[in-house]
Chains A and B, each alone.
Chain A
């Protein structure tokens, strides 16, 4: 998921590319959201004890709870979301998917252990890692969004790429995601932390300013992202963000780096293929095992293993001997990712709290989360040991048969629907109140009162959305923004409410 360390690199080198603002200021804007990723996050974050929330029939409803309340919150703030669903995954992503699957299998084993040992904390932690979004979940979410009258788009391939395309065409203001590769796909604006709790400010990454700040072209930026580590292929060991940036500037492209630094002159140019995502397979299987109730766990495990085998077979032909090579980099990357996931989960957790209130998520749960991430860092140190050794040797090694060209193609010419949508397609429709109550309350056990109050909020927001924005009338003048001073000044200035103390003892003075 995303680009390893990209947000940190941007924050370090060109902080001016990040604009912090309140969620309110996105009022009246249409934003594209990667639905598949959101659903996944909801299923992790929104839980009752260590179980996902479910309806009377035992089907998961976490994703619906999350999506419903999140969407209402966005709309109440006058933000218009457009949800984009994943299509087929590029075959090149199998490597990444396999890694995730491995991770999952590992978690599965640990979960079993934990269950035997009756370690509640561990059970919670590992069962979260087993979360899987199935086609059924997707379909339910689509249904919910349609009932809410919110536009949805099914991407031919990666949702993130389609989001970026919508932003490029100016149909949406930006892409709201935590996944930094939205920028790599060319989205002019990427908004992080939109709707992640009230206190957090949204961070808006502006591609143009990123390129300006890093002083590279967009094509070079894509190469840099590949160097830093993306979902589609491995990266050169020992080269991270800063070094990568320096090398890109020096040699112009990955080819240049490989030629001059590693004396590699032959590059593989793989065909880009797409395949149905695994969860289609799975969905079928799940249907079979659905009624098994208590036994579901063991069944799932079998399924899990099968899937893993499936992917392994599929990627064998691609990665071949590369498998061994995977180790180092893969782990590092994975760790970064894990950490990020954990963080997100924590944020989401808070959000979940505020959404569903006391009834559903206890403080205990939160604590568990924190413990979980603590453990995470421990295991981090474990893995990072070999990395240190590597650094001592300071050897950089290029993955054999490196498929960077394929990754580049995926970023530069992603499989998206271009110029196919108009503003009409992204229009909001009437909310289907009856349908929502039927779907959420009758079928999925939501409290009718809450759903109704949610619907009321959406209706109120419709009135709000007829308010226009002042900056749609007056154009922002370029270049008049003040020269940045050194960072410390900025921080100290921002944090300390400067005057408060000074005044407090003198404020009582009576005017003469």
Chain B
């Protein structure tokens, strides 16, 4: 028997919104420690990894490990119908071929129940090695979203260069070029609006904006986003999910393979 109840149902809604366009089908792995998901997009350029701790749920029970393969786009469609304040419960028997989703609006005595068929997915799990990144940037997630959105008006890829004087996001296209420069903020009174930059080694890396724009759909999940970069490894874009008491209850991490400079051809 598996049962997970989330009073702040919008977290589940937002997670699905943040991944459904990137991966259409994926499996949730449920264990006693929580629910997690890992999947590559169809062209195998990026990877998304979601984790929700058991503590993050208001009620969590998982008798044995389960793999719940599903069509995320369809699931997102259903969950979209839940209200932001709804309590969402996910249930599945041990030998499940479908799961039950229950939405309970807070103020009313009503329940909405959906059964969703599961799929058997032949998913590949990638081992992600522990990496010490040379550069780690924390910035407000809405700012990141805007940078990606605005730069993609100009070009297809963004070059992120980090050096002592700050971080530069730049792009060029047929139209011209765009350049955004961020410096570390001084004030500590608004943590959500802070920009912090840790640089051990300067780097210059290029990434496809198309994918970054996909990642930015997770903006609603967290006020801050962190970007971790090292030479010749994928970029990590992480949104940490917090509960009301500001305790960490999970994360959504995106990995994006870099673009390599011409001349390799």
In the complex, whether A471 has a CB less than 8 A from a CB of chain B is yes
CB within 8 Å for A503 and B78 given contacts A470-B47, A470-B234, A511-B86: yes
One digit per residue, 1 when the CB lies within 8 angstroms of any chain B CB and 0 when it does not, for chain A 305-336 equals 00000000000000000000000000000000
Residues of A at the B interface (CB closer than 8 Å) are 16, 19, 21-22, 24-25, 27-28, 78, 427-428, 462-463, 465-477, 480-482, 484-485, 489-490, 492-494, 496-500, 502-503, 506-507, 509, 511-512
Question: A470 touches which one: B70, B108, B121, B257 (CB < 8 A)?
Answer: B257
For residue B73, which residue of chain A has the nearest CB? Answer: A497
Query: What residues of B have a CB within 8 angstroms of the CB of A22 in the complex?
Result: 42
Question: A493 touches which one: B84, B119, B260, B261 (CB < 8 A)?
Answer: B119
For residue B74, which residue of chain A has the nearest CB? Answer: A499
For residue B80, which residue of chain A has the nearest CB? Answer: A507
Report the stretch among B125-133, B143-151, B212-220 that lies at the interface. B125-133
Asked if B40 and A482 make an inter-chain contact with CB atoms under 8 angstroms apart, the answer reads no
Asked if A471 and B77 make an inter-chain contact with CB atoms under 8 angstroms apart, the answer reads no
Asked if A500 and B74 make an inter-chain contact with CB atoms under 8 angstroms apart, the answer reads yes
Query: What residues of A have a CB within 8 angstroms of the CB of B69 in the complex?
Result: 482, 493
- Distance between Cα atoms of A463 and B84 in the complex (Å): 42
- Distance between Cα atoms of A344 and B244 in the complex (Å): 59
Query: What residues of A have a CB within 8 angstroms of the CB of B128 in the complex?
Result: 474
A-B contact pairs, 26 of them (CB 8 A): A16-B122, A24-B43, A27-B43, A28-B44, A428-B265, A466-B261, A466-B262, A467-B257, A468-B45, A470-B255, A470-B257, A475-B126, A477-B127, A485-B97, A485-B120, A493-B69, A493-B119, A497-B71, A498-B117, A499-B74, A499-B75, A502-B78, A507-B77, A507-B81, A511-B83, A511-B105
Asked if A496 and B83 make an inter-chain contact with CB atoms under 8 angstroms apart, the answer reads no
- Distance between Cα atoms of A21 and B71 in the complex (Å): 15
- Distance between Cα atoms of A25 and B23 in the complex (Å): 12
CB within 8 Å for A469 and B45 given contacts A475-B126, A512-B85: yes
Asked if B82 and A490 make an inter-chain contact with CB atoms under 8 angstroms apart, the answer reads no
- Distance between Cα atoms of A489 and B120 in the complex (Å): 8
Question: B42 touches which one: A25, A28, A481 (CB < 8 A)?
Answer: A25
Query: What residues of A have a CB within 8 angstroms of the CB of B255 in the complex?
Result: 470, 473-474
Asked if A474 and B47 make an inter-chain contact with CB atoms under 8 angstroms apart, the answer reads yes
Query: What residues of B have a CB within 8 angstroms of the CB of A481 in the complex?
Result: 122-125
In the complex, whether B203 has a CB less than 8 A from a CB of chain A is no
- Distance between Cα atoms of A472 and B259 in the complex (Å): 12
Query: What residues of B have a CB within 8 angstroms of the CB of A484 in the complex?
Result: 120
- Distance between Cα atoms of A492 and B120 in the complex (Å): 10
Question: B27 touches which one: A467, A482, A485, A497 (CB < 8 A)?
Answer: A482
Question: A466 touches which one: B81, B84, B260 (CB < 8 A)?
Answer: B260
For residue B47, which residue of chain A has the nearest CB? Answer: A470
Query: What residues of A have a CB within 8 angstroms of the CB of B40 in the complex?
Result: 470-471
Closest 3 CB pairs of A and B: A511-B83, A474-B126, A493-B119
Closest chain B CB from A241 CB (angstroms): 23
Closest chain B CB from A279 CB (angstroms): 34
Query: What residues of B have a CB within 8 angstroms of the CB of A490 in the complex?
Result: 119-120
Asked if B74 and A27 make an inter-chain contact with CB atoms under 8 angstroms apart, the answer reads no
Closest chain B CB from A426 CB (angstroms): 12
Asked if B97 and A462 make an inter-chain contact with CB atoms under 8 angstroms apart, the answer reads no
In the complex, whether B154 has a CB less than 8 A from a CB of chain A is no
Query: What residues of A have a CB within 8 angstroms of the CB of B115 in the complex?
Result: 502
Query: What residues of B have a CB within 8 angstroms of the CB of A471 in the complex?
Result: 40, 44, 124, 126
Query: What residues of A have a CB within 8 angstroms of the CB of B126 in the complex?
Result: 470-471, 474-477
Closest chain A CB from B209 CB (angstroms): 12
- Distance between Cα atoms of A472 and B232 in the complex (Å): 11
Asked if A511 and B84 make an inter-chain contact with CB atoms under 8 angstroms apart, the answer reads yes
Query: What residues of B have a CB within 8 angstroms of the CB of A480 in the complex?
Result: 125
Asked if A499 and B114 make an inter-chain contact with CB atoms under 8 angstroms apart, the answer reads yes
In the complex, whether B204 has a CB less than 8 A from a CB of chain A is no
Closest chain A CB from B10 CB (angstroms): 10
Query: What residues of B have a CB within 8 angstroms of the CB of A507 in the complex?
Result: 77, 80-81
In the complex, whether B208 has a CB less than 8 A from a CB of chain A is yes
Query: What residues of A have a CB within 8 angstroms of the CB of B44 in the complex?
Result: 25, 27-28, 469-471
For residue A80, which residue of chain B has the nearest CB? Answer: B265
Q: Which residue, B77, B98, B108, has most C-beta atoms of chain A within 10 A?
A: B77
Closest chain B CB from A348 CB (angstroms): 24
Query: What residues of A have a CB within 8 angstroms of the CB of B114 in the complex?
Result: 499, 502-503
In the complex, whether B34 has a CB less than 8 A from a CB of chain A is no
In the complex, whether B89 has a CB less than 8 A from a CB of chain A is no
One digit per residue, 1 when the CB lies within 8 angstroms of any chain A CB and 0 when it does not, for chain B 89-126 equals 00000000110000001111000101111111111111
Closest chain B CB from A477 CB (angstroms): 5
- Distance between Cα atoms of A53 and B77 in the complex (Å): 48
CB within 8 Å for A512 and B74 given contacts A469-B44, A470-B256, A482-B69: no
One digit per residue, 1 when the CB lies within 8 angstroms of any chain A CB and 0 when it does not, for chain B 49-83 equals 00000000000000000010111001101101111
Asked if B97 and A489 make an inter-chain contact with CB atoms under 8 angstroms apart, the answer reads yes
Query: What residues of A have a CB within 8 angstroms of the CB of B84 in the complex?
Result: 511
Query: What residues of A have a CB within 8 angstroms of the CB of B116 in the complex?
Result: 498-499
Asked if A497 and B74 make an inter-chain contact with CB atoms under 8 angstroms apart, the answer reads yes
For residue A469, which residue of chain B has the nearest CB? Answer: B44
Asked if A512 and B208 make an inter-chain contact with CB atoms under 8 angstroms apart, the answer reads no
In the complex, whether B264 has a CB less than 8 A from a CB of chain A is yes
Query: What residues of A have a CB within 8 angstroms of the CB of B78 in the complex?
Result: 499, 502-503
Closest chain A CB from B129 CB (angstroms): 7
Asked if A500 and B86 make an inter-chain contact with CB atoms under 8 angstroms apart, the answer reads no
Closest chain B CB from A21 CB (angstroms): 7
Asked if B120 and A482 make an inter-chain contact with CB atoms under 8 angstroms apart, the answer reads yes
Query: What residues of A have a CB within 8 angstroms of the CB of B262 in the complex?
Result: 462-463, 466
- Distance between Cα atoms of A497 and B75 in the complex (Å): 10
- Distance between Cα atoms of A19 and B123 in the complex (Å): 10
Closest chain A CB from B19 CB (angstroms): 15
CB within 8 Å for A511 and B82 given contacts A475-B127, A498-B117: yes
Asked if A474 and B43 make an inter-chain contact with CB atoms under 8 angstroms apart, the answer reads no
